[in-house]
Amino acid sequence: MKNAICYFFSFLVEAIILWQYSSNLFSAKRKLLVKLIALCCLYFILFFCSLFESIWLNVAFYFLLNFIFLVIQFYLNWYTALFHSSILTAVMSMSELIVYGIIKRFAPHFLDNGREFNHLLVFTVFNKLIFFTVIYLLIHFIKKQEKCSRQYDKSIFLLVFIPIASVFVMFTFINIGENATLPPSLDWMITLSAVFLLTANLLMFGINQYHQKKNMEFTEMQLLLQQESDSARYYEMLHLQNENQRILIHDMKKHLQSIALLNEDNENEKIRAYIDQLMQSSDLLEFSKICDHKILNNILCRYKKVCNDLHIAFHADIRSNTTTFLSDSDVTSLFCNMLDNAVEASNHIKDSYIEITAAQRKHTPFIIITMINSCACNPFSPNGELVSSKPDPQAHGFGIKSIEKIVHNYNGNMQMYYDGETFTFHTIIMLKMKP
């Protein structure tokens, strides 16, 4: 009976670890409740098989039932599910063998006396801590290898110290049990401490994943709000432009009368200047269509209006279908950050300008995005790092990091340099189109 309780606890922890492993790496194709029911059913089968106390039977069923769970609950082909089921089985088996070897080396009599319940439970907690630590590292290693589009804070690897420290505490517990005769009450307290220690590790992992998910949702919400803001400003700009054009049309008769009076006096130069002034009026400029990407078009139109207000010449040449492979969030982050920096650098400079182009390199899946903007001074430090001109440089620089992250996610590269002869800053980005 006591062995059955240990087995039940062991499989409960393994089920939680499998849940975390699969949920963090794969996309589920079933609802949460269905996935939970399937996991419980499969691990109850595994629990009943363990009552036969056959090691090889336990390992075989652990591998098989994990494989079934991954195949039916996630968007995985059978050989990928087979691979990950093999990883889980290997890590689980190795963690038990490692702990067994450590205990036999440093506490050879710990599992004697008919495998006492307290000692068996401590052994179970010890090997599940090892299992949990390795799986925790594997999750983040696989995420890094797959170059997920989500951004992960590297500081999460510091959390690995917690399960490693817990393993050391467990080893201390085992040595205490081996070398000292403890009263039953204290023996139970050590056992419960081991269980609580494992529970704390699992909770720590779960809370960390929860916060990562919430941070990702917050970032996505901020990007959506930025897109909505761009669209709102775009349509507000169109409405204002429409009103100004109606006013200009209303006043056109008066302008023509003025031109006619100048013509009667043969004031050809004044007529030419008058017409040029009318033609260069912002009320006659066309903002509605710059490129065929809706979100990017809104962004470019907004920045074109900003540049006109700041007397910065703005030119955009985005070739057809060159940015359609980019997600809306990546388009917003990439182009808004680039143009924010360009506008800031070009402001208050006489005859300043911003030019941005995007074109596909012939016969390749690569897109080249080039931006040239006026810049009064070299923004690079002597060691080649970009220096922010803002009052608090430590609080800035995230725009460049965001651009670098997007470039990395699309297997591209970025070059930036300053031309001191023309006082211009150049940004060249190459992105690989995703199929």
User: What does the alpha-carbon distance between residue 307 and residue 315 come to, in Å, rounded to a whole number?
Assistant: 10
Is residue 414 within 8 A of residue 403, CB to CB? The reply is yes
User: pLDDT (tens digit, 9 = 90+) per residue, 49-75?
Assistant: 877 877 788 888 888 998 999 999 998
Is residue 386 within 8 A of residue 345, CB to CB? The reply is no
User: pLDDT (tens digit, 9 = 90+) per residue, 340-399?
Assistant: 999 999 998 989 999 999 999 888 889 999 999 999 988 888 777 777 665 545 445 677
Q: Supply the angle between the helices 161-179 and 78-106 in degrees, to the nearest 10.
A: 40
What 3-state class would DSSP assign to 326? Answer: coil
Rounded mean pLDDT, 133-144 = 74
Using CA atoms, how far residue 226 sits from 16, 158, 209, 278, 299, in Å, is: 38, 33, 26, 34, 10
Is residue 354 within 8 A of residue 374, CB to CB? The reply is yes
> What pLDDT score was predicted for residue 147?
43
User: What does the alpha-carbon distance between residue 195 and residue 124 come to, in Å, rounded to a whole number?
Assistant: 9
From the list 147, 139, 124, the residue with the least C-alpha distance to 205 is 139
Is residue 325 within 8 A of residue 434, CB to CB? The reply is yes
Is residue 81 within 8 A of residue 100, CB to CB? The reply is no
> What pLDDT score was predicted for residue 364?
86
Higher per-residue pLDDT: 170 or 215:
215
Q: Cα–Cα–Cα angle for 301, 302, 308, nearest 5°?
A: 90
Question: Per the structure block, which two tokens stand in for 340?
Answer: 């924010």
Is residue 201 within 8 A of residue 160, CB to CB? The reply is no
Strands lying side by side in the sheet with 313-318: 313-318, 353-360, 366-374, 424-432, 413-419
Judge whether residue 152 has pLDDT over 50: no
Average pLDDT taken over every residue of the chain: 77
Q: How many residues does the chain have?
A: 435
* Parallel, antiparallel or unpaired: strands 366-374 and 413-419: unpaired
Is residue 91 within 8 A of residue 134, CB to CB? The reply is yes
User: What does the alpha-carbon distance between residue 172 and residue 170 come to, in Å, rounded to a whole number?
Assistant: 5
Judge whether residue 319 has pLDDT over 80: yes
What is the number of H-type helices and E-type strands within the chain? Answer: 12, 5
User: pLDDT (tens digit, 9 = 90+) per residue, 87-113?
Assistant: 788 777 777 767 776 776 677 666 665
Is residue 166 within 8 A of residue 127, CB to CB? The reply is no
Judge whether residue 234 has pLDDT over 50: yes
> What pLDDT score was predicted for residue 148?
41
Poorest-confidence range of 14-23, 195-204, 356-365?
A: 195-204
Higher per-residue pLDDT: 64 or 141:
64
pTM listed for this prediction? 0.44
From the list 217, 431, 216, the residue with the least C-alpha distance to 326 is 431
Judge whether residue 281 has pLDDT over 80: no
Q: Cα–Cα–Cα angle for 62, 65, 67, nearest 5°?
A: 105
> What pLDDT score was predicted for residue 37?
92
Please give the torsion angle defined by the CA atoms of residues 107, 112, 185 and 183, in that order, rounded to the nearest 10 degrees: -80
